Structure 1
Amino acid sequence: MSIQITPAASDRMRAFLAKAPEAAGVRFSVKRMGCSGFGYVVDLAGAIASDDEVMDIDGIRVVVDPKSLPLVEGTLIDFQRQGLNASFVFHNPNATGECGCGESFTVA
């Protein structure tokens, strides 16, 4: 599996993990939402299921569930600040379209 994390995203994830030492890692997944179909979710992983894919990326344990895995394979996760706003930004080679606001994406 190949998910990449930029240094900015790595720093942000480390900050979250430092505040929650009980977390098993960072969970990266998708859920049905928005007008295009799927939205990204980055959260702390409370537990790791037996069928989760677990990888170490730059010292960060990233956990992906089996349903999300084919939709996020090859994704580059970045973190950007623009004025007062800050958010993770996803560059997903599987996405074939996005909604106008960028909240959700579609796949073929």
Structure 2
Amino acid sequence: MAIILAPAALERVKEFLASAPDALGVRFGVHRTGCSGWGYAVDLARDAREGDTVFEQDGVRIYVTADSLELVDGTEMDFTKNGLNEQFVFRNPNVAAECGCGESFTTDADKAA
């Protein structure tokens, strides 16, 4: 099990954490949304929650809720810049399909349900 930060994402997260000294790390997970079912949620982790799985990479802690872990296990988070646009992008091996805009996804488990 792992969540991986690509070099650009690692640097961006470190910038966020440097400006928020009370943050423990970054919280990563999913929530129900969009036309395909699941959307990513990334925020600063200001507390550790019961059931969290914590990954650490180069001093950065990544907190993942128990409800999200199965859906994001193995995901690589990257950070891209394209002109004036900047965003985190996700390479998730659990994704079976994405909506046209790329904001939400489904897994094989969703298709079977």
TM-score above 0.5, yes or no? yes
Q: Give CA deviations for 1:60-86 in whole Å, capped at 9, x if unaligned.
A: 010000000000000010000011100
The AA in structure 2 aligned to 1:91 is: R
Mapped to 2, the partners of 1:5 and 1:20 lie a distance apart of: 19
Which position in structure 1 is the counterpart of 2:101? 101
Which position in structure 2 is the counterpart of 1:59? 59
The TM-score with structure 2 as length reference comes to 0.93
Mapped to 2, the partners of 1:42 and 1:79 lie a distance apart of: 12
The TM-score with structure 1 as length reference comes to 0.97
Mapped to 2, the partners of 1:93 and 1:54 lie a distance apart of: 19
Report the number of matched residues.
Answer: 108
Q: By how many angstroms is 1:50 displaced?
A: 2.5
Moved segments of 4+, more than 6 Å: none
Mapped to 1, the partners of 2:88 and 2:101 lie a distance apart of: 14
The AA in structure 2 aligned to 1:21 is: P
The AA in structure 1 aligned to 2:64 is: V
Q: By how many angstroms is 1:37 displaced?
A: 0.3
Query: Which consecutive unaligned segments of at least 5 residues does structure 2 have?
Result: 109-113
Higher normalized helix content (fraction of residues): 2
Contact 2:38 2:106 in 1 (8 A): yes
RMSD after superposition = 0.7
1:81 aligns to 2:77 (yes or no): no
The AA in structure 2 aligned to 1:43 is: D
SS of corresponding position for 2:66: coil
Which position in structure 2 is the counterpart of 1:24? 24
**Alignment identity in percent?**
56
Mapped to 1, the partners of 2:106 and 2:84 lie a distance apart of: 28
1:50 aligns to 2:65 (yes or no): no
Mapped to 1, the partners of 2:62 and 2:2 lie a distance apart of: 11
Mapped to 1, the partners of 2:97 and 2:59 lie a distance apart of: 32
